[in-house]
Structure formats: structure tokens, C-alpha cells
Structure 1
Amino acid sequence: MNKTELIAVMANRAGVTQKVTEDVLKAFTDTVSETLGRRGEKVVVTGFGTFEVRNRVKRTGKNPRTGELITVPEQKSPAFRAGKLLKEAVK
């Protein structure tokens, strides 16, 4: 399912227009992105899951072209951990 299909299904279930649904989805994704990116805080949607920032430690890697060993710096990465209701729905 892509974003357009998701918006159509959500609009139908909620009984609102696709434009309203698109605006709500954009507000949600913008809020999650801002909270993770600027503040580094978790976003918990009870039952659905948790969006969070995880730190990846500095490590040694290998350049696939040259075989040269390189140091990959520490970096932050967005992560999602599924909640109980989502896990049960997938079973």
C-alpha cells in the first residue's frame, strides 16, 4: 500500500475527505519527524508502536571498491518498535 492508497482508505473509514486525511497524515509525520530530529524524544502511540532515535556506535568498515578499511563515524538513526496491538494484528 502506498501513501495515496493509505489516504484513500483512511478517508473512507473516517468519513472525511481525502484532503483532510492528507493534511492529518502530513501533520502526524511532520510532528514525529520534528520530535525525533530536533528534540531527540520518543513518540509513543500506545498499542501501535514507538518511534525513537537510536545511536549507532563508531565502527570500522571496508570500502567495497578498494578494500580499504575506513572508520564509520557514530550516527543517529530513526527506529520504530512495534507495539502489542500491531504485533498481534500481524500474526
Structure 2
Amino acid sequence: MNRTDLTAAVAGATGLTPPRAAAAVAATLDAIVRGVDEHGSVTLAGFGTFERRSRAARTGRHPRTGEPMEIPASVTPAFRAAAAFRRRVADGSSAEN
């Protein structure tokens, strides 16, 4: 499923017009991004947690030469699925099965 498919699913489930559903999806995603940026995490009960994770600086290897190289510290977004979400995916209880 891509963003277009998600927008169509939201439109079908809510009765919104496709442009309004697209605006709702965009606003939701923007709110999640802003929430993680400003507060460090966004938790949606039963779905999961979007969070910011810090990676420490470390020594790695250059893929071509094999020489050691310093990889700088970084911050990256991450998602941790809720238990209910993980169970549903593991059970394969989607409408397609």
C-alpha cells in the first residue's frame, strides 16, 4: 500500500472526498513528524510508537577499501509496533487471507 492507496482507503472508510482524505492523511503524517521532532516520540495505542533514536559515533569499514573510518553520531526516526499490531500481522488475519 502506498500513499495513494492509503488516501483511497481513508476516503472509502470515512466518506470524505478524495481531496479531503488526502489532506487528512497529509495532516496526520505531518503531525507525527512534528511530534517526533519536537517531543521525541508519538504513541498511538494499539498501533505503535514513532520515536527518535540516537546512534553513537563508531568506527566502521569503508565498503570498497576495507579501511577503518569514523562514522559520526546521528539521530534517526524509528517505529516500534504495538503488541496488537504485531499479533495481527503474525496471525495473518488481514482481509486478503
TM-score by length of 1: 0.89
Question: What's the CA shift for 1:33?
Answer: 1.2
- Deviations, residues 33-61 of structure 1 (Å, cap 9, x unaligned): 12222x24210001100000011111111
Aligned match of 1:41:
40
Structure 1 runs, 4 residues or longer, greater than 2 Å off: none
Unaligned ranges ≥5, structure 2: 91-97
Aligned pairs (5 A) from 1:5-84: 5-37=5-37, 39-84=38-83
Q: Which residue of 1 aligns with 2:3?
A: 3
Separation in structure 1 between the aligned mates of residue 87 and residue 18 of structure 2, nearest angstrom? 28
Whichever residue aligns with residue 70 of structure 2, its letter is T
The root-mean-square deviation of aligned C-alpha atoms, in Å, is: 1.2
Q: TM-score with structure 2 length normalisation?
A: 0.84
Residue 53 of structure 2 aligns to a residue whose secondary structure is strand
Amino acid in structure 1 at the alignment position of 2:48? G
Structure 2 CA distance for aligned equivalents of residues 84 and 64 of structure 1: 37
Task: Give, in whole Å, the separation in 2 of the partners of 1:65 and 1:25.
Answer: 41
1:87 aligned counterpart, secondary structure: helix
Q: Which runs of 5+ in 1 are unaligned?
A: none
